[in-house]
C-alpha cells in the first residue's frame, strides 16, 4: 500500500518555517498550500507570495488548494509563484470547467479538483478523466480542526471504484481530520494521499521530527490493522 503524505502548511509554525521546511523536505511527498479569499470561505490564509517565498527552499511538489470564488483570478499567479498542482473547488468552475482545466494545463501544471462534503462525484462526471488529482473534503472547508464527516467514506470508495473500472489516473486525496482515529477507515476506502494538519501532525509534538515519527507510527499501525483484517 503506497501512501503519500501532504502536510498542510497553514497548520505549521510559521515562526519556524525554514526549520520546519527542512524537516518536511526529507519526509513529505507534497506540500499543501491553502489559499482562501475570505468570500468562498470566511477565512484568509496563505497566498501566491507565500508560495514564491518557499519555492526556492523545497524540492517537493507544491499542491495549491484554491478556496476562492474566482479561481481564474489566482491560477496564473500561483503558477508563476511555483505551484505544481492547482486545485479549485468543483462548484467554482462549473460554468467554465473545461476552460479552467485547459488554462492550468497550458501553464504546464497538474489539474486537481476539490469536492466539498455535500458535492457528489457526479458533479465532475464529464471531466473526471482529465484530472490528475481529486480531493475529497472530509470536513466543511475553511478551518482547521473540524470533526470528521463519516459520510465521505462512501465517496472515497466511489472514486476508487471509478478509477479501477475506467483506468483513470487521478490520485485520491483526503483533506480534513486525517489522523490516528481515521487513517484505517480512509485507507480502507481508497485514500492515496493524506493531507495532515493539526490533529494528524503538527499538534503531536512541538518538535516536528518527533511529531512526524509519531504520525508515521500511527499510519503504520493503521496499515497493520487493515492487513490483519483482510
Which residue numbers belong to the known binding site?
32, 34, 65, 142-145, 175-177, 197-199
Please enumerate, by residue number, every residue annotated as part of a binding site for substrate.
Answer: 65, 142-145, 175-177, 197-199
Please enumerate, by residue number, every residue annotated as part of a binding site for a divalent metal cation.
Answer: 32, 34, 65, 175
Rg (the chain; Cα; Å): 17
Q: Is 140 a catalytic residue?
A: no
Catalytic residue among 34, 37, 63, 132: 34
Give exposure, 180-219, as e/b (b: 16+ Cβ within 10 Å): bebbbbbbbbbbbbbbbbbbbbbebeeebeebbeebeebb
Q: What share of the chain is helix, strand, coil (3-state, %, to 5)?
A: 50, 20, 30
The CA-based angle 15-38-14, given to 5 degrees, is: 5
Return the residue matching grid coordinates 464529464: 126
Residues with Cβ < 8 Å from 183, sequence gap 6 or more? 194, 218, 219, 221, 222
Q: Is 175 a catalytic residue?
A: yes
Catalytic residue among 63, 84, 132, 175: 175
Distance CA 125, CA 102 (A): 17
Catalytic residues: 34, 175
Amino acid at each position: 500500500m503506497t501512501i503519500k503524505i501532504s502536510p498542510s502548511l497553514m497548520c505549521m509554525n510559521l515562526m519556524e518555517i525554514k526549520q520546519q521546511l527542512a524537516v518536511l523536505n526529507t519526509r513529505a511527498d507534497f506540500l499543501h498550500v491553502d489559499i482562501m479569499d475570505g468570500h468562498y470561505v470566511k477565512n484568509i490564509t496563505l497566498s501566491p507570495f507565500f508560495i514564491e517565498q518557499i519555492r526556492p527552499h523545497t524540492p517537493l511538489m507544491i499542491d495549491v488548494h484554491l478556496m476562492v470564488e474566482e479561481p481564474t483570478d489566482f491560477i496564473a499567479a500561483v503558477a508563476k509563484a511555483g505551484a505544481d498542482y492547482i486545485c479549485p473547488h468543483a462548484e467554482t468552475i462549473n460554468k467554465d470547467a473545461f476552460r479552467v482545466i485547459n488554462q492550468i494545463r497550458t501553464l504546464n501544471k497538474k489539474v486537481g479538483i476539490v469536492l466539498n462534503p455535500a458535492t457528489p462525484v457526479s458533479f465532475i462526471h464529464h471531466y473526471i478523466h482529465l484530472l490528475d488529482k481529486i480531493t475529497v473534503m472530509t470536513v466543511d472547508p475553511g478551518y482547521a480542526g473540524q470533526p470528521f464527516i463519516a459520510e465521505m467514506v462512501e465517496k472515497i470508495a466511489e472514486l476508487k471504484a471509478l478509477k479501477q473500472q475506467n483506468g483513470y489516473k487521478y490520485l485520491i486525496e483526503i483533506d480534513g481530520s486525517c489522523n490516528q482515529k481515521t487513517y484505517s477507515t480512509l485507507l480502507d476506502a481508497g485514500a492515496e494521499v493524506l493531507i495532515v494538519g493539526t490533529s494528524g501532525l503538527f499538534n503531536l509534538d512541538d518538535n516536528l521530527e518527533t511529531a512526524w515519527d509519531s504520525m508515521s507510527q500511527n499510519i503504520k499501525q493503521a496499515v497493520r490493522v487493515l492487513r490483519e483484517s483482510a
